[in-house]
Amino acid sequence: MAGAAGATPPGQEQQPRLRADAKRNAEQIRAAAIGAFQGRGLSVPLEEVAKAAGVSKGTIFNRFGGRIGLIEAVIAEVVATEIYAIIDRSRAVGDVWERLTYYVTAIRDLQYRQPATVDTMLQVYPDAPSLMEICRVGGEINEELVAAGRATGVLRPEFTAGDLHALLHDSALVLKHGPRPPREDYDRRTAYVLDGMRSAV
């Protein structure tokens, strides 16, 4: 018997509901991943992300393809936007030494606050294009800041962009693998880093 005019064919009535469920699952996974990655870094077990999102680990793979896809989906909210904002703000500072001071202080502060920054700078997931792009841009700003610092004489003449990278990389290593220092000690050491960079002239 033919269906009534305008009737929904069998099965199609479930498709909007399934699409809504899939969208809701993806949003829950993204929210859970942002909270987990911001608080504990990018290596949080996916089982924990799935539990927080109220889904199975398999659903993460179905929706995002795994950890790398999930990182790509949320890295802007987790840390990329803040890193790029620091770079933009540093370029807006007129005085070269103040520019360097702001950049080093802000990046070290972000490393301390956001473990995902440490994972990004240590290139823990080199297959994640967005993370590698952050590192590429970070290398560019290091070169830019050091060139300006040496040109104006505010940096020690032997100080290089590689030295700046190493100083920030070393602090990331300590935060990743060593005992976490008290905030007061960490900030005091930021001042030592800057003092060691500055020209004695």
pLDDT 10s per residue in the chain (201 long)?
455 555 555 555 566 665 777 788 899 999 999 999 998 999 999 999 999 999 999 999 999 999 999 999 999 999 999 999 999 999 999 999 999 999 999 999 999 999 999 999 999 999 999 999 999 999 999 999 999 999 999 999 999 999 999 999 999 999 999 999 999 999 999 999 999 999 986
pTM above 0.95, yes or no: no
CB 64: neighbour CB atoms within 10 A? Answer: 20
Which residue pairs from 88-91 have beta carbons closer than 8 angstroms and sit at least 24 positions apart in sequence? 90/141, 90/145, 91/141, 91/144
